[in-house]
A and B are shown apart, each in its own frame.
Chain A
Amino acid sequence: QSALTQPPSASGSPGQSVTISCTGASSDVGDYKYVSWYQQHPGKAPKLMIYEVTKRPSGVPDRFSGSKSGNTASLTVSGLQAEDEADYYCSSYTGSNNFYVFGTGTKVTV
């Protein structure tokens, strides 16, 4: 199972929006609603930001939103803040023996 494809980097000024894409295949992103997004600051464990494509866990600001079209999922961060600078990873359930697959990761610079 190959990793999902994300752009290596994305950037925006404070207050602007940035959108990160996550491209998979019909066997993972395209076939399931179980796409999630994670934020990871340097030296820290990842944090769940979005699950089931569009849902936000309690405590995650509504500036973070997710969507999906076909084999590509997206994470949008609106109203960028300095603390949003981090690495972001998508993940998808695959339904196969290789249960889950992560994206290649995107470094967001504010």
Chain B
Amino acid sequence: EVQLVESGGGLVQPGGSLRLSCAASGFTLTYHWMHWVRQAPGQGLVWVAYIDNDGGRTTYADFVKGRFTISRDNAKNTVYLQMKSLSGDDTAVYYCVRDAQLSFDIWGHGTVVTVSS
């Protein structure tokens, strides 16, 4: 079964850091671009970051540039999102998403990040 499983979410204080992981199974991760998308409570979907097949190119939404870093380890079938300088605005469900034909065809179940003191 093709699936993505996120982990690493939790409660973190403002200004803190967190690293999310996304384990891929059922397909060859190397063949796909990958993304992180987030959804704040009661709000819509927002694209956060992208990484190409081998990690050579990354792109970020303006509101996370300089604070978040997306990376991948194809040998471990895992994608990461390192987040720092977190604020309440970063509170959201974070989804790991597979790219296919410039659409998001496989979504993980999401991991909840709560930034609060």
Smallest Cβ distance from B96 to chain A, in angstroms? 10
In the complex, chain B residues whose CB is within 8 Å of the CB of A98: 47, 59, 61-62
Contact with B along A77-102 (1 / 0, CB 8 A): 00000000000010101000111111
In the complex, chain A residues whose CB is within 8 Å of the CB of B110: 45
In the complex, chain A residues whose CB is within 8 Å of the CB of B101: 34, 51-52, 55
In the complex, chain A residues whose CB is within 8 Å of the CB of B72: none
| Complex contact A36–B104 (CB within 8 A) | yes
Q: Which of B50, B100, B104 has the most CB of A within 10 A?
A: B104
Size of the B side of the interface (Cβ < 8 Å), in residues, is 21
Smallest Cβ distance from B113 to chain A, in angstroms? 15
Residue of B with least CB distance to A94:
B47
Q: Quick one: which of B25-39 are within 8 Å of A by CB? A: 35, 37
Q: What size tier do the contact residues of chain A reach?
A: 20 to 34
* Complex-state Cα separation, A52 to B101, whole angstroms: 8
Contacts A45-B95, A45-B108 given; does A102 touch B103 at CB 8 Å = no
In the complex, chain B residues whose CB is within 8 Å of the CB of A3: 44
Residue of A with least CB distance to B61:
A98
A45, A101, A104, A105: the one contacting B107 at CB < 8 Å is A45
Residue of B with least CB distance to A52:
B101
A contact residues vs B (CB 8 Å cutoff): 1, 3, 32, 34, 36, 38, 40, 45-48, 51-52, 55, 57, 89, 91, 93, 97-105
B contact residues vs A (CB 8 Å cutoff): 35, 37, 44-47, 50, 59, 61-62, 95, 100-105, 107-110
14 further contact pairs, Cβ within 8 A, besides A46-B45, A52-B102: A34-B101, A38-B104, A48-B103, A48-B104, A51-B101, A55-B101, A57-B105, A91-B47, A97-B59, A97-B62, A98-B62, A99-B50, A100-B50, A104-B44
